Structure 1
Amino acid sequence: MSIDRLQPTDAEDDTMGGRMSLARDAVKISIEAAARSLCVAPDIWASWENDRAAPSAGDLETIAETLEVSLAWLLRGHGAGPIWPVANDNAHRG
């Protein structure tokens, strides 16, 4: 299996909440598990992903670590974004 990292421009036009959701999907954790990493209720995390609220500045680094992305990518969509497993086409050829 090969790994593909999103290009920085893939997320720069998205909101921070959209990037949070994208990165959470990439690391395959639930909203509940992500919320536990910050000791917040799942509905608070969901409100961040839906851009109805914003996390405090003090929580941003922990969010980036939980989602395995750089703080710069989380904030602006530039930098180390999510890593997605990609099926290797050569494995299916005989």
Structure 2
Amino acid sequence: MMETKVEVPAPVRELGAIGINNAESALALFFDAVSKLGAPTSAQSLALLERIVAVRMDYARKVARAIERSEATALQFAFCRSQIDITTELIRVVSGSVG
């Protein structure tokens, strides 16, 4: 079976990378501001939310660099698995704070 290449021009990939970096910087500022407010959010749940954002940014960077469809598929699988793990941990944190 022949592998399908993903043909994306370099300038488009570069714009994608710039957008990802800008979004990551904005979210870092947001999380910094939230942590300084002393909002009634547990530090553990805030850390998990930051981890979710970091995993998504990492995934976006890797997908933007993917050249073959099989590589993009493997990245999607790994991303979904990490989201399930993080969500499970977040549910434990939230249910522990409720109970």
Query: One fold, TM greater than 0.5?
Result: no
Q: Report the structure, 1 or 2, having the larger strand content.
A: 1
What's the TM-score once normalised by structure 2's chain length?
0.30
What's the TM-score once normalised by structure 1's chain length?
0.31
Q: Report the structure, 1 or 2, having the larger helix content.
A: 2
Compare CA radii of gyration and give the structure with the larger one.
2
